[in-house]
Amino acid sequence: MDEQKINALANKLINGTISEQELHELEAWYNTIENLEQEVNSDIDQATMGKRIFEMIAIKANLKSYPKRKIVLWPRVAAAASIILCLSFGGYYLLRKQPPQQIAQKQLNDIAPGGNKAILTLSNGQKISLTDARNGNIAQQHGTQIRKAQNGQIVYLANSLSANGDNSTEMAYNTISTPRGGQWRLSLPDGSRVWLNAASSITFPTTFTGTNRTVKITGEAYFEIAHNATKPFIVTTKSQTIQDIGTHFNINAYDDESSIRTTLVEGSIKVSNITGSAILIPGQQSIVQNENKIVVKRADIDEAIAWKSGRFHFDHSDIPTIMREFSRWYNVDIEYKGNVPLGSFTGNIDRNSNASVALQILSIAGVHFQIQDKKIIVQP
């Protein structure tokens, strides 16, 4: 296969437009590389292996020189029956297949991915594990019925009468919180839908009364707001307010992140803080750092809401950024030994992958990881 054909097929792979026939053709070319099996099955460490294979590909393609490599991950990399790693070098790509079972066997300690876990705190302080609650009615709060649907989603159904048949005007607030390694979906009393990411929470009234619908979040949440032109929906975080009517948007407001990022997918929202406000249109993102000026820029929608679709998405992300996401989803602590590794990473990893699989994908770039109990140790 000539170099132009290799480059064209590799780009199709990265863009997700490659056909099965073209994928087999690209894999067949890759498998013609001499000594590949010896390299893959050897006991050398992954960084050395990656360097050797990378060099073999460069020689095979007759490249006299190539830039420092960066990792590019195929969107279905860990969800498929095998793992495909793509190493970019001047337009040429390396495909390396290895079953996830083999990767896990090399790691004595492993950590399962997060899942649907959350705690519901009622207005009277009672706590209910939503993970363990049975489907059906789980609580009644001041005229609102709380149900767990068959798909696990929590649904608030506002009734005109309370459980004893009397009208209830008392405001009651509930909180749904996810731990590290947890996520949850819920439907608010007005029909708006919310997705909570790991280590996040939402506090809301069991019935929306008055002139607006106000909720408070920590961490990260995605909203699909039920339209009500006469009663705007307001989301508050520790340092900003988001107001909208009939909108889909994502808010990332973790305490351990350097900024609060609000990304608009549909509709229109107004983002406000102590310094001013900004109106967003679809495809824009507001960034607030240290409660300072609101900066609006073009958003990478896929990056902002990948977690909602069950993926890690990295776009030139550094190791600390990636490790913070891993820490929240795998419920682990992160420890750095030596200098923090440099380099940036672009691509996707399935969030259903064990930690060893996700780390293995990153380790091909020369960063070393070790899992010890509930800790990931990162070394250059």
- The 10s digit of each residue's pLDDT in 70-99 is 434 333 322 222 223 333 322 223 333 333
Q: Which two tokens mark 98?
A: 């290895």
Query: Any idea where the domains of the chain sit in the sequence?
Result: 1-114+310-380, 115-304
Q: Does residue 328 have a pLDDT over 70?
A: yes
Answering whether pTM is above 0.85, one says no
How many C-beta neighbours within 10 Å does residue 205 have?
Answer: 21
Q: Helix (H, G, I), strand (E, B), or coil: what is residue 126?
A: coil
Ramachandran angles phi, psi of 51, nearest 5° = -65, -45
79 vs 84, 230, 348, CA distance in Å?
10, 44, 11
How far, in Å, CA of 181 to CA of 32, rounded? 41
Q: Which amino acid is at 327?
A: S
Q: What contacts 310, CB < 8 A, 6 or more positions away?
A: 350, 351, 352
249 vs 40, 92, 165, 287, 325, CA distance in Å?
44, 37, 37, 14, 20
Domain at 115-304, CATH from 2.60.120.1440, 3.10.129.10, 2.40.110.10, 1.10.10.410? 2.60.120.1440
Question: Which pLDDT band, with edges at 50, 70 and 90, does 237 fall under?
Answer: very high
- pLDDT at position 75, please? 32
Q: Which two tokens mark 215?
A: 């909720």
According to DSSP, the residues that pair with 260 across neighbouring strands are: 288
Nearest to 282 by CA among 296, 263, 295: 263
**Which stretch of 26-30, 320-324, 352-356 has the lowest confidence by average pLDDT?**
26-30
How many C-beta neighbours within 10 Å does residue 372 have?
Answer: 12
CATH class of 1-114+310-380: alpha beta
Q: Find the mean pLDDT for residues 174-180.
A: 96
- The 10s digit of each residue's pLDDT in 181-203 is 999 999 999 999 999 999 999 99
Question: Which pLDDT band, with edges at 50, 70 and 90, does 34 fall under?
Answer: very low
Nearest to 327 by CA among 374, 373, 294: 374
According to DSSP, the residues that pair with 203 across neighbouring strands are: 175, 216
